[in-house]
Every structure is written in structure tokens, then in C-alpha cells.
Structure 1
Amino acid sequence: MRSDIERWEKKYSTKSELSVQQDADPLLVSHKHLLNGTGLAIDLAAGTCGTSIHLARSGYSVIALDCSLTALKIGQHLAIKSGVFVQGLVIDLDDYLLPKSTFNLITCFRYLNRRLFPMIKWALNPGGRVVYKTFNQNHLEKTPGFAKEYLLRPGELAEAFEGLQITAYDDGVDSQQPYSYIIAQAPK
């Protein structure tokens, strides 16, 4: 959707390297024992590549996808400064098709495109993992104007990734957190 891309480009055009989040999401850090650091990883809606850089430092070959060329340029520069390589690709995830059985790890943070759920399962190698975390309906308490279509419903991630072995999960119901997450593994 062109207006979304323009909005993200505008957002990132006002950012500098010093003003972007460069750390990996705490979910990745706290579950690093589940991630073996080998093979190909893809970071969906990568933004300025904080997750991608963390994964590259952990040993993965990383592809970072985002609709914002500006965000990826910032991310690529940060990756170089960190001494790692991240391949950035400008992609509109509304139109992108993930290739079958290609990735050992697929990550997505703070982005919801339900069309991607079956493709993520399809794109995992046997034994590959998905780490998906984004906002749920509890987020409305903090940000009442947030668009409801971009919020996960309780149980939605578990349903979307049915057939994968869930190794970590929180849909925000019990924890009241404003985000839901899942870490799940494809059958070997």
C-alpha cells in the first residue's frame, strides 16, 4: 500500500543512527538458547535492522526486509559499524511471497500482516523457528487511537501457527502485556 510506504519513509527520514533502537528485542535475548545461530534468517518489517544485526552477531546469515529504503540504509550502516553483514531488501510485504522451505529462522516484531502467517510456516526449513511479536488488544489502554485491525486477538498467534511446536508463548491475556508473542518450531 503506497500510502503506508510513504508514511514509513517520512518517519525514518527524520531519524539518525543515534536516534534509532539498536538493541534486539528482550524476547530474543531471553530466548537465545532456542536460537542456534546457523543458517539463513529473515527479519520481516526489519526497520533499522536492530533484530537483524543481533541475529548476524549470533551467527545467522540475515536478510532484512522492509518497505522503507531509508530505514534499511540506516540499518545497513549500523550493521557495518557493528562488523556484520545484513542483506537489506526493499519489499512491500503486502505483495511479497516467501519462498518454500528456505529459512532456519523467521522474525517479525511490531508488525501485523495476517496474510504472512501461512507463508511463514511454509517458508521455514524443517526444524526452523519463527519468533513473532506484535501488539495485541491490551495496547488500546495505552494508545486508544491505535487501529484495531493491527492488533492481535487473544489466541490468534497460537491458532495461526498451529502445527508448529510452541516453545514460548504469551497472548497478553494473563500477563496483561500490550503485545503477544510466539516462538515456535517447524517439525524436523
Structure 2
Amino acid sequence: MQMIPPSPWVERHIGSISQGGQVLDLACGSGRHTRLLAGSGFSVLAVDRDAAALGGLQGVAGVRTVQLDLEGEQWPLAGQSFAGIVVTNYLWRPRLPDLLALLAPGGALIYETFMIGNAAYGKPSSPDFLLHSGELREVARAAGLREIAFEEGYTASPKPAMRQAICAVRD
């Protein structure tokens, strides 16, 4: 199976995360960003509900994996703090405020996922899993984060999709 390369958005903004703190790769899947972060010298907590996907990260230096249900009644990461949070291709609105509360002072959020209009290009197509225009910007602002960069709209790579992305910092 060919490894999907890291998102150019994540690669471009990884420098916003301060060295020395732990980084959360939420819903990390096969770990393309976990590997990028660990290779850049970060200590990474890679979280996903898929144990098989996490298995591929065993033995990667600087990486700790935890299988968690991120959509249950209990928020399994409550009380933790991270220098950086990376999320791609995942959206669970009920936990967005809880997720952003995990960001330490000076911490950076790098978030990229699908938005309304993506149904024309495939999955996800349910509005439950598609951001509204400007939604990440609004959520970050409500959490007291300072926006570094924001993009939304059509992308052709790695496949045609409608996406939205933000890099924001907690001052």
C-alpha cells in the first residue's frame, strides 16, 4: 500500500508549532502527519479509533499511540495540553470546543478538512462532516486563537475536493 504524502498545508505551517512540547495528531489514520511531525523533532501523541492504522506507527521514534473513541459521551483527552494540534480530513463538531481547549498558550492549531460543496467530488458528502464557509475561522476566533493563515475552496490535489484550512495560535 502506497503511503499518502503529508498535506502541503500541514507541511507549510508546521513551523508555527514551538519545539519542545507535545503535538497531538487527532484522528491520525495511517500517520502521514505523525511521521512528518516526529521526523521534525516533535514528540507526538497519535490518536485514532482504528487500532490497525495505529499499529503501523509502532516503533516510530518520538511517537506514542492511543486508540480512542473521539465521538463518545466522554472526552478522552480532557485536561491535557499540547504545543500543537494537527487535524486533517476529520470533523466532529460537538468536540471542537473541547479540542481547542487542549491548546497550550503559544500552541498552534493546524486544521484542514472538507467543506460544503465536496459532495460534487465524492465523500464525505454528508453536511454533518462538511464545514460551512468560514467555519474554522469562526471556531478559532471564538476559542481566542489568533489566525495565521486561512484558505477555503476547491483543490485539485491530492484529489479534487472542496476544503477549508486554518493555522491559528493561542497567544
Q: For this structure pair, what is the TM-score category when the shorter chain's length is used for normalisation? A: 0.7 to 0.9
Gapped regions of structure 2 (runs ≥ 5) = 155-159
Aligned equivalent of 1:94? 71
Relative distance call for 1:76 and 1:25 in structure 2 (3 A) is farther
What letter corresponds to residue 157 of structure 1 in structure 2? L
Per-residue CA shift, 1:89-126, capped at 9, x if unaligned?
A: 00010123433461000111000011221112211110
Per-residue CA shift, 1:14-65, capped at 9, x if unaligned?
A: xxxx4332x3211121223323332100110001111011111111110000
TM-score, length of structure 1 as denominator length: 0.78
Identity %: 29
Q: In structure 2, how many angstroms separate the alpha carbons of the residues matched to 1:48 and 1:177?
A: 20
Gapped regions of structure 1 (runs ≥ 5) = 1-17
Aligned equivalent of 2:166? 182
The match for 2:2 among 19, 22, 26 is: 19
What's the C-alpha RMSD, in Å, of the aligned pairs?
Answer: 2.2
Aligned equivalent of 1:170? 151
3-state SS of the aligned residue for 2:46?
strand
| Number of residue pairs the alignment of both structures matches | 163
Deviation at 1:144, TM superposition (A): 7.2
Asked if 1:46 corresponds to 2:23, the answer is: no
Aligned equivalent of 1:13? none
TM-score, length of structure 2 as denominator length: 0.86
Deviation at 1:149, TM superposition (A): 1.2
Greater helix content: 1
Q: In structure 1, how many angstroms separate the alpha carbons of the residues matched to 2:145 and 2:43?
A: 23
Greater strand content: 2
Aligned equivalent of 1:125? 104
What letter corresponds to residue 145 of structure 2 in structure 1? L
- Conserved 8 A contact 2:151-2:165: yes
Q: Structure 2 matches for 1:2-151, cutoff 5 A?
A: 18-21=1-4, 23-76=5-58, 79=60, 84-95=61-72, 96-100=75-79, 102-143=81-122, 146-151=125-130
Q: Which has the bigger relative contact order, CA under 8 A and spacing at least 6?
A: 2
Deviation at 1:143, TM superposition (A): 1.7
